[in-house]
């Protein structure tokens, strides 16, 4: 179901919108979405799971008596569509009785009938299971040859979303996007315990060609994994204290996600997520005056980045994709909003951040691609390392946690290279870095150039009740942070 506007999608939309209009809905949005996913996992040279799933849903969201009402169904019939519209109106009636906020949406032009497809070379859902399995088995074999490697786990995940949006303003918007990801983890078990090393390739808005080497050098990284693991196992445990950090984009994307991405969601700052995901220290009164970080810090939000996991043509409220500033020269200058939040705070237009992970869930404000812009001077990562006397170069993400106002965070990583006098001298292990968001970004003293820029990201960003997951990308260069608190993870356990 339906990759493009077709007779069925339009007939279902017409049926539901007619009921909504008859029910005095001032706003009515219809969404039909099909989500296809595939997972293949391999463990120690044996295929563990090969599977696909596909869900299609139909939903109606109305504003009636000033309140939202949402209903959804798997029934793709005119009767099912009409029933969903009636149930949405009923939910709005329940809500209107206890709501004090009147819902209004910021204006957005109508785009009529239009469609968009994310450009990929190979539809990841169209390749055979055999091709994916063959690839993962080859990776497994390559890495498992090393005596340092005792177990290998690898998996690939791919997805395709086909969505259709219709409203009372005449929009009939169809779009299709894709995502592909894979990870391999090698584990070592020895007398001193166990440890592991994982690939750092991020998920991407790409097709199967990504796993064949377009956009990531898998061969080189996989060849390095056994030695990196062996070195890590033999490396000394980090000395807790204050260190300078050079953070690679494969790690920094996640810190951006947690400490900037979620913190600049205006619905959070206004309290809409307070019971669950939390709020934000970056409250509206700080817009335009709050020093978020050092003057070399420039962060944008966008839904247009090439290969971005949050890239679309229109959001789930029919708003066209845009790019805008969130942090400019270290100052908070923007937020992520949907149409209701935009109207609520007096903005002329939404920046297109409404998203639902399926037609069975209501759209809420979700994160666009949020990216730290590279410096104007094209400094390499090696240039940055050269400027550090005593520090740690951190590569790859692992553990993450941040508080409910996005202040106190703690992250680990995959690889920690000790820097002495501007040179890498070997690996460290048990490194955990912890800071407070404005302090951390305020300590950013150098930033890499465009040649260090990488689009990282995640498939599993969680938010909302009922819970929803969203794929999102974060681009960034390497960067240097001065005097960051580093804990020893092993010692923390026995503190």
Partner 1 sequence: MSNLSMDQAVEVALELLGTDGGVAVGEVNAVRNLRWANSSLTTNGDTIDNTLSLAAFVPVNDGVASGIVSGQVRNREDIKGLVAAARASARAAGASQDAMDLVAGAQHSNFAAPATQAVDDGLGDIAQQLSEVFSDTSSQYFGYAEYSHDTTYVATSAGTRLRYEQPTARFELCAKSPDRTKSAWSGQSAKTLGDIVVAPHSSRVRAGIAHQANRIDVEPGQHTVTLSPSAFADLMIYLLWTASAREANEGRSVFSNPLGGTRIGERLTQRELTVATDPTLRGLETSDAVINLGASSMSSSFDTGLPITRSEILSSGVLNALASSRYAAHEANLPFTPITDNIEVSDAHGSGSLDDLAARMSDGLLITCLWYIREVDPQSLLLTGLTRDGVYVVRNGEIVGCANNFRFNESPVGMLSRITDAGTAIDCLPREWADWFSRSRVCPVTVDGFNLSTRSDAI
- Told to check if 74 binds partner 1 by CB under 8 A, we report yes
- Told to check if 285 binds partner 1 by CB under 8 A, we report no
Stretch that binds partner 1, among 300-308, 355-363, 418-426, 470-478 (CB under 8 A): 355-363
- Told to check if 281 binds partner 1 by CB under 8 A, we report yes
Size of the site for partner 1 (CB under 8 A): 89
- Told to check if 275 binds partner 1 by CB under 8 A, we report yes
Considering only CA atoms, which of 146, 126, 135, 130 is closest in space to residue 218?
Answer: 135
Under 8 Å between Cβ of 46 and 39: no
Binds partner 1 by CB under 8 A, chosen from 15, 27, 28, 88: 88
Binds partner 1 by CB under 8 A, chosen from 65, 251, 264, 279: 279
Cα separation, 61 vs 83, in Å, equals 13
- Told to check if 120 binds partner 1 by CB under 8 A, we report no
Q: Which is nearer to partner 1, 371 or 410 (CB)?
A: 410
Least Å distance, CB 233 to partner 1, is: 12
Least Å distance, CB 118 to partner 1, is: 23
User: What is the footprint of partner 1 within residues 207-266 (CB under 8 A)?
Assistant: none
DSSP 176-212: EEEEEEEEEEEEEEETTEEEEEE--PPPBS--GGGGG
- Told to check if 450 binds partner 1 by CB under 8 A, we report no
Least Å distance, CB 31 to partner 1, is: 13
Least Å distance, CB 63 to partner 1, is: 12
Least Å distance, CB 184 to partner 1, is: 16
Q: Which is nearer to partner 1, 378 or 403 (CB)?
A: 403
DSSP 33-93: EEEEEEEEEEETTEEEEEEEEEEEEEEEEEEETTEEEEEEES--SHHHHHHHHHHHHHHHH
Least Å distance, CB 272 to partner 1, is: 5
Least Å distance, CB 391 to partner 1, is: 21
Instruction: Please give the structure tokens belonging to residue 213.
Output: 């080497």
Binds partner 1 by CB under 8 A, chosen from 4, 10, 11, 75: 75
Q: Which is nearer to partner 1, 129 or 227 (CB)?
A: 129
Peptide bond into 466 cis (omega under 30): yes
Stretch that binds partner 1, among 306-314, 326-334, 383-391, 431-439 (CB under 8 A): 431-439
Q: How far is CA 390 from CA 132, 238, 249, 425, in A?
A: 43, 12, 20, 11
Write the DSSP symbol of residue 263: T
Q: Which is nearer to partner 1, 70 or 216 (CB)?
A: 70
Instruction: Please give the structure tokens belonging to residue 36.
Output: 């296809």
DSSP 123-183: -TTTS-HHHHHHHHHHHHHHHHTSTT--EEEEEEEEEEEEEEEEETT--EEEEEEEEEEEE
- Find the distance separating the first CA and the last CA of the chain, reported in whole Å: 55
Least Å distance, CB 475 to partner 1, is: 24
Cα separation, 441 vs 293, in Å, equals 4
Write the DSSP symbol of residue 103: P
User: What is the footprint of partner 1 within residues 6-35 (CB under 8 A)?
Assistant: none
Least Å distance, CB 385 to partner 1, is: 26
User: What is the footprint of partner 1 within residues 38-67 (CB under 8 A)?
Assistant: 46-57, 59, 67
Angle at 70 between CA 69 and CA 75, to 5 degrees: 140
- Told to check if 400 binds partner 1 by CB under 8 A, we report yes
- Told to check if 489 binds partner 1 by CB under 8 A, we report yes
User: What is the footprint of partner 1 within residues 152-211 (CB under 8 A)?
Assistant: 187, 189, 191, 193-196
Under 8 Å between Cβ of 369 and 311: yes
Torsion sign (Cα): 226, 455, 210, 383: negative
- Told to check if 148 binds partner 1 by CB under 8 A, we report no
Stretch that binds partner 1, among 93-101, 140-148, 345-353, 372-380 (CB under 8 A): 93-101
Binds partner 1 by CB under 8 A, chosen from 3, 21, 133, 157: 133
Q: Which is nearer to partner 1, 105 or 402 (CB)?
A: 402
Q: How far is CA 246 from CA 239, 253, 478, in A?
A: 17, 13, 7
Q: Which is nearer to partner 1, 131 or 329 (CB)?
A: 131
Least Å distance, CB 226 to partner 1, is: 17
b/e 302-313 (16+ beta carbons within 10 angstroms → b): bbbbebbbbbbb
- Told to check if 69 binds partner 1 by CB under 8 A, we report yes
- Told to check if 111 binds partner 1 by CB under 8 A, we report no
């Amino acid at each position: 179901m339906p990759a493009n506007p077709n007779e069925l999608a339009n007939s279902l939309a017409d049926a539901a919108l007619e009921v909504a209009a008859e029910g005095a809905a001032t706003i009515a949005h219809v969404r039909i979405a099909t989500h296809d996913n595939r997972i293949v996992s391999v463990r120690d040279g044996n295929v563990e799971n090969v599977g696909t799933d596909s869900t299609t849903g139909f939903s109606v969201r109305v504003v009636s008596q000033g309140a939202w009402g949402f209903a959804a169904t798997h029934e793709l019939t005119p009767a099912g569509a009409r029933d969903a519209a009636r149930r949405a109106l009923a939910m709005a009636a329940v809500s209107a009785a206890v709501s004090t906020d009147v819902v209004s949406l910021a204006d957005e032009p109508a785009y009529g009938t239009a469609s968009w497809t994310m450009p990929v070379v190979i539809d990841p859902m169209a390749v055979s299971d055999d091709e994916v399995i063959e690839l993962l088995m080859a990776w497994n074999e390559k890495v498992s040859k090393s005596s340092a490697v005792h177990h290998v786990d690898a998996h690939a995940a791919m997805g395709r979303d086909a969505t259709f949006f219709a409203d009372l303003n005449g929009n009939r918007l169809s779009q299709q996007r894709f995502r592909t990801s894979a990870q391999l983890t090698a584990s070592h078990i020895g007398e001193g315990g166990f440890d592991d090393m994982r690939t750092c390739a991020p998920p991407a808005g790409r097709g199967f060609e990504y796993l064949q080497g377009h956009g990531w050098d898998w061969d080189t990284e996989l060849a390095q994994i056994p030695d990196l693991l062996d070195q890590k196992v033999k490396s000394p445990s980090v000395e807790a204290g204050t260190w300078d950090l050079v953070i690679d984009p494969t790690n920094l994307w996640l810190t951006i996600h947690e400490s900037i991405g979620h913190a600049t969601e205006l619905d959070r700052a206004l309290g809409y997520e307070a019971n669950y995901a939390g709020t934000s220290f970056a409250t509206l009164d700080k817009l335009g005056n709050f020093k978020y970080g050092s003057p070399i810090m420039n962060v944008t939000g966008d839904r247009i980045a090439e290969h971005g996991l949050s890239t679309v043509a229109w959001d789930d409220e029919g708003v066209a994709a845009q790019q805008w500033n969130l942090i400019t020269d270290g100052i908070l200058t923007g937020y992520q909003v949907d149409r209701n939040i935009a109207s609520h705070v007096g903005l002329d237009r939404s920046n297109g951040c409404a998203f639902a992970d399926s037609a069975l869930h209501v759209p809420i404000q979700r994160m666009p691609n949020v990216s730290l812009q590279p410096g104007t001077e094209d400094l390499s990562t090696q240039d940055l390392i050269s400027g550090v006397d005593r520090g740690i170069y951190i590569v790859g993400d692992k553990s993450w946690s941040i508080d409910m106002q996005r202040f106190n965070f703690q992250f680990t990583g995959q690889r920690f290279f000790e820097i002495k006098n501007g040179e890498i001298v070997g690996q460290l292990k048990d490194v955990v870095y912890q800071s407070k968001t404005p302090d951390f970004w305020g300590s950013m003293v150098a930033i890499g150039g465009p040649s260090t820029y990488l689009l990282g990201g995640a498939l599993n960003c969680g938010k909302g009740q009922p819970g929803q997951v969203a794929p999102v990308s974060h681009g960034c260069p390497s960067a240097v942070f001065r005097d960051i608190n580093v804990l020893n993870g092993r010692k923390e356990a026995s503190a």
